[in-house]
Amino acid sequence: MTGRRDYFDDPAAPAVNSLVPAASVVAFDEAGRILLQRRRDNEQWALPGGAMQAGETIASAAIRETKEETDIDVEVIGLVGIYTDPRHVIAYADGEVRQEFNVCFRGRALPGIVSPGSESAEVRFFAPIEIGALAMHPSTSLRIDHSLDTNRTSPYIG
């Protein structure tokens, strides 16, 4: 296996051996476009984000990871949801196999020039209507859909 492989509701998924709190951000620019990165490890489009480190809050992890992966500063302005679906398993080349555990924030992208970090092959802002045509994992699509749902009155918990 190279890099990372996501499984969803797949009986062939390897057994989970790790649970790591992670954060992601649906970051909107002034035009209402969403910041996405194309990951180097699986070539799929994804929200910027990653694992929380000791000594930081989950929100500061989201801000740090977004900056590392896109070179864009973000302001966290809300909570999209908490995503812990045991059917979403992430296997890494080093043998680690995680169950999804992601706190997804809504954010405001501050002005700046996007630039891919070491984990990103490409970084761009997309209009919401463009996102459906992109190769991305269903869990990413779900987070984006939840962030765009104007009828939602509370964060997703699942």
Q: Looking at the annotation, which residues are catalytic?
A: 122
- d(CA 27, CA 34) in angstroms, rounded, equals 6
Torsion angle of the four alpha carbons 64, 111, 45, 2, in this order, in degrees rounded to the nearest 10: -40
Largest separation between any pair of C-alpha atoms in the chain:
44
The tokens describing 42, both together, are 């699986």
- Reading the block at residue 76, the tokens are 């966290």
> 3-class DSSP state for residue 62?
helix
12 contact partners, CB below 8 Å, separation of at least 6: none
Please give the backbone phi and psi of residue 73, each rounded to the nearest 5 degrees, phi first: -85, 140
Q: How far apart are CA 137 and CA 58, in angstroms?
A: 22
Amino acid at 131: I
What are the tokens at 147?
């962030």
